[in-house]
Structure formats: C-alpha cells, structure tokens
Structure 1
C-alpha cells in the first residue's frame, strides 16, 4: 500500500454539491499506471495520476501553475512530474522543486494535490468537503483481489451517462434475463420473480435474490461442472462509491444458498463507479472467481464473458440516457425491482445535501 500527503498550501478543490463528498472514490486500477501520466476528470476535477520511482502513486490538479498546460502532457521523472511546456518539475505533493534556468523558485509555484491510497490493485482518491483536512476514514479493502483460491482481472469503462444510472443497473439484476441472454442471463421469468430481500443500513443498501431450481446460464456452465439444475444467489451491497456483487450457484438441493460457507461456483464482482461530470462517469470493475482446475483458462473465460455482459449494459444505459434527454419532461414509473435502486438514490440525495444520520 502506498499513500501521498498533501501540502497544507494545496489549492482548494471546489465543492461539487451534486456528488457526495468526504468519500473515497476509485481513480484508477493499479495496472493503468505506467511510465506516462494518466489524465482523468473525477467529480468535475481534472486530475493527473503518476507513479514516482519509489513506487508511490500521486495525484495532482492537472494544470501547471506557470502557463496552465495540463501536467498530463509532461513526463514522469524519478522525483516527480515535469511540465511539457517549460520544464517545471513538481513533486508528489504539488510543490515545484525545479525551474530550468532559474535558481529561485517562487513560493506560489505549486499545484493542488489529492490524498491517494493504493491498495488491492486499486488507486483510491479522497474528495473532502474541506480540502485542507486529512481524510476522515481509510479506503475500503477488497480481499478477493488477494484471497487464496480466487483469481481476478478487470477493466475500466467510460460511460456517457450519469453515474447513478450505473448504480440503478447494478442494483436491479432482474434485467439479466432480457439483456444478457447469452452469458449470465437465463429465463427472464425466473429473474423477474426471484425471491428478493432489500435492507438499508446507514449509507449502504443490500439486495439479496435467490433463484432456486433454475437452469444455469451459459457463463456458469462454461466455468463450472454443474450436473443439471442449480440453486442460484445474487447478493448486492451498495456503497456510495462502489458496489460489491457476489453471485453464484450450487447444484440444486445440495448446499444452502444462504450458507456463507457454501461451495459451488462463485463470482465476486467489484464495481467502482466514479462520477466524471453530471452526465458522465468512470466504471472500474473487476471479477474474481474460484476455479478448482484450469485456473487461468477459467479466469479468462469468466472475465471475457463478464466484459461481454458489461458491453451490453453500456449500450443499454447510454441509450437510456439519450432517451431521457429527449423526453426530459416525462415522468417514469417504478415497479417492484426498483426498490434497491430507489433506496440508493435517497442515500445519495441525502449526502449531497450534506445530511448525515
């Protein structure tokens, strides 16, 4: 795990009341950080991410304080990030430590920096309501990126749609029977009539669904030797910046689907949804699974099919948003599968308004 610390003189980050603050969001997957700076807009803020020679990940406001070229147009050096216009060198806390051809460095030669923590192959960034204060909490851990018996991989998607539409999609898995027929779907009637329990605690929502004595979908049969029918579960945990989705199945009438230690086939999905703007977002996802044989082959199969399902979701969500813009004066109805998504939206609204429990 690596972390960076802000200079107390860091320039303030403007509040974005449309998004919950005092929250850790995912800024990148570790594998995205190479020998070049990574530019990304997060919560309306232009950010540049880079890793220095000591292995530490840093995040600065993507703007040189000299002539405002994006620092992401520069180059990474052992001590920091060098601007690609006039060569000013900035360290990991945004302080200018070198100006070519000039010995004296002005006191104001610095740029804003963000608190970042790298853990579990993810880079978390803190957006605080008061940017002069240290983070109130530590980023959440995700053990299935290192848990024995599990292997994982993932990807990053950019959505031309608001982040809460992605939340809605992930909290309502009834759509699997219609959108994902060839991968993790299955009989649509079974999905729409699944036993479902929704609970809210604090700033989180939990949705649990069971589909007993059902037909395994293609992804399941491709990855696990089921005998015939299966008892299937879907457990979704919503938090402000991410969702954890535990899905899987056992052969029918074997292990209980509500037993925490049940066997069978498991897929542990992490879904980190970070707003870019009010109308776009970044979706960082990983999928961990527990193959007992042909480990790398099975992992590749599960991740590839997961990627295919998320490609399908992206088409649906972006088309949905385009239509919402066309019919922006039209109200929408709710049905029984919307309970979890509606509770999550209430939490987001409360937090954006600055209210706490």
Structure 2
C-alpha cells in the first residue's frame, strides 16, 4: 500500500513519527561554565551523547561522545592542549572533531573524525546548538543573561538530574503557587496567600510571562535572613518562559512603600536562571543559578541563599519525580486544570507548536 492509499490513522502515525520530540533549531544550555575544568564531561542532550571539554587555553568544545576507532566514549579520555585524547588507544581529536594523531603510526586515516557541535560560552553558561538538519549551523546567537555580569548581584548555582520529562519542570516553575506547600523552610510562606495571589498571564511569540503579587504578606525565612525588612512585605514573582530556559525574578519590599510595577523597585531581589535541557523523553538536566542583592555580608549571604535554593530545588525534584511515576501508574486517569495552570498550559502549547515545525523565533 503506498502513502496515497494509507488510511487516516496510518497517515497520522507517519506524520507524528516525523515530528521531533523536542524543539530544534535553537540553543540549549549544556553546562555551567564552572563545570568545565580539566576533565571532560559526558552528557546525553536531546537523545544525543555529547562530550564537553575545555582546552588549556580556555576554549570550550563539544563532540559526539565516541571515538571513531572502537567507540569508547571520549568522556573517558583526557584533555590536552590540542584537544581530547581517547582513553583506549590514544587517538587525539581537536575541538572540530578532526583526528590529529594516531599513536604508533604516521598517517591519520582520512575517515578518522567525529561530529562536532556548535557551542558558545557567555554569561557563565555554555550553550549548544541543536539543528533540525545534520551539521546545521546556528541561525542566531544564544540568549544573553546579563544578571551574571551585573555588579548589583552575587550569584552561584548548580545542576540537577531529573528522572522526569522536562515539561513537568516547566510546569512547576511557571506555577509558583506551590511554594506555600512545598517550600515552607525557605521561600514559602502562607499557602492561602500564594494560592490567592494576584496573577496576570501574558504571551508573545514563543514566550510566556506570569506576574504574581502578594501584598502585605509575611516574608519567608530566606528573605528575612538576607534583608532587614521591618514587618509585612509586598512580594512579587515574575516568571518569563522561553523554550530553552526560564527567568524568574522574585523579591519583596516593605509593605506599602513602593510600586511593584516599577522596574527600579528596591528591597530584596532573587533572580533565578533555570535552563531545562531534555536528556530523553523521560529524563532531564536542570541547570540553575540564583542571584541576589544582600544588604550586607554579600559573600556569606550568597552562600546561604545558594544553599537554601538548592534545598528548595531538591524539594521540587522529589515532588516532580513522584508526580511522574504516578502519572505513569494512573496513565488512564484524566487530570483536572485549576486557575494556576494558565501559564503552564500556554507553555505546553508553544512546545507542541514548535515540535510541529511552527516557531515564531529561535531561542
């Protein structure tokens, strides 16, 4: 039976099979800059096995994580001045994937090379390009994140590995109403206040913006530790979703002292960067940083804010992984939406549209 004779169900299956699992022709975060030291890192990103390394002169490279000789992962090798040397028979590859040396013989075989990825390091982040065509080159620059170079802030971060689909993490970050239930020890607060926060959801192109205000509320433990609030505070949560990452600006000012719509508002700020890069359809890498503006003792408070943020994200990881296991267990049961799901649902529609090949802009 040829394609023209296929029944509608078969045609639908063929069309779905041709769609990518993840949005392509865009940049994803592959690592935090601080991760790449003198040893290579092997990671699976969007189902592709990649080795990342930094040469002694500071350049970052990403190659297919296999030696073309006998398939040992190059991440088992060592980094040298000229590139990465395989840990099995010593073939040396440069940052473009070209084999420079085969120990014990003068001639390097013409077919001795591995595929290379386009990478760019900026703002303490390492971005990698995944195109819809093999060996495609970037059509745009990676997103900037100037907070990491802003002298008003101090920051640090880390990496989590999730045994859960990346869009469940998007859902979690776009819906901060859960803070009052999941994060009581750090950035939580009164659960009813979180669930009843003033909320506005906007969308443009491939982005979603969620703004939440909680006026005249009690500051959570992390806030009071870092800033000398007088009593009640007006809190804000501004979440900006892009398919490759989210930017979350949260904070507070003393109640009734400043407009929460002012871009120059004072008080305590926490600016979070959250890049969720799929490993597979059921697992994810979560690269995060948090920047803050402590009133005093910047280094000490930065350390505490980072530690408490890590504890917060660990709490999220436990919830999301348990959620995913239950979703599989009760796969035939429908889920019911409530008012806090507007932002996550919009983001899911964007990802679905991009996977279908309709994207407004690369991110």
Normalised by the length of structure 2, the TM-score is 0.93
Deviations along 1:263-283, whole A, 9 cap, x unmatched?
A: 000000000000000000000
Aligned length: 343
Q: Give the aligned partner of residue 86 of structure 1.
A: 89
- Pick closer, same or farther for the CA change 1:16–1:61 going to 2, 3 Å: farther
Q: SS where residue 169 of structure 2 aligns?
A: helix
Maintained 8 Å contact 2:215/2:234: yes
* Distance (Å, rounded) in 2 between the aligned partners of 1:264 and 1:288: 14
1:256-335 equivalent positions in 2, closer than 5 A: 256-335=259-338
Q: Give the aligned partner of residue 5 of structure 2.
A: none
Maintained 8 Å contact 2:148/2:155: yes
Maintained 8 Å contact 1:62/1:72: yes
Deviations along 1:223-278, whole A, 9 cap, x unmatched?
A: 11100000000000000010000000000010111100000000000000000000
1:142 pairs with one of 136, 140, 145: 145
1:348 maps onto 2:351 in alignment: yes
1:222 maps onto 2:237 in alignment: no
CA shift, 1:16, in A, is 7.6
1:135-284 equivalent positions in 2, closer than 5 A: 135-284=138-287
Maintained 8 Å contact 2:226/2:295: no
Q: Give the aligned partner of residue 32 of structure 1.
A: 35
CA shift, 1:106, in A, is 1.5
Q: Give the aligned partner of residue 9 of structure 2.
A: none
* Distance (Å, rounded) in 1 between the aligned partners of 2:190 and 2:106: 71
Bigger drift between 29-38 and 168-177 goes to 29-38
Maintained 8 Å contact 2:24/2:132: yes
Q: Give the aligned partner of residue 116 of structure 2.
A: 113
* Distance (Å, rounded) in 2 between the aligned partners of 1:264 and 1:125: 36
Task: Note the residue ranges of structure 1 that are not aligned, 5 or more in a row.
Answer: 1-14
Maintained 8 Å contact 1:16/1:43: no
Q: Give the aligned partner of residue 60 of structure 1.
A: 63
* Distance (Å, rounded) in 1 between the aligned partners of 2:127 and 2:22: 16
Task: Note the residue ranges of structure 2 that are not aligned, 5 or more in a row.
Answer: 1-17
Maintained 8 Å contact 2:78/2:85: yes
Q: SS where residue 223 of structure 2 aligns?
A: helix
CA shift, 1:292, in A, is 2.7
* Distance (Å, rounded) in 2 between the aligned partners of 1:146 and 1:94: 32
Q: Give the aligned partner of residue 14 of structure 2.
A: none
Deviations along 1:34-85, whole A, 9 cap, x unmatched?
A: 2111000000000000111221000000011111010111111110111111
Q: SS where residue 309 of structure 1 aligns?
A: helix
Normalised by the length of structure 1, the TM-score is 0.95
* Distance (Å, rounded) in 1 between the aligned partners of 2:152 and 2:349: 37
CA shift, 1:331, in A, is 1.1
Deviations along 1:192-225, whole A, 9 cap, x unmatched?
A: 1100000110000000000011111111111111
* Distance (Å, rounded) in 2 between the aligned partners of 1:44 and 1:132: 16
Maintained 8 Å contact 1:289/1:299: yes
Bigger drift between 262-271 and 139-148 goes to 139-148
Cα RMSD between the aligned structures? 1.0
Moved over 4 A (4+): none
Q: Give the aligned partner of residue 22 of structure 2.
A: 19
* Distance (Å, rounded) in 1 between the aligned partners of 2:111 and 2:203: 47
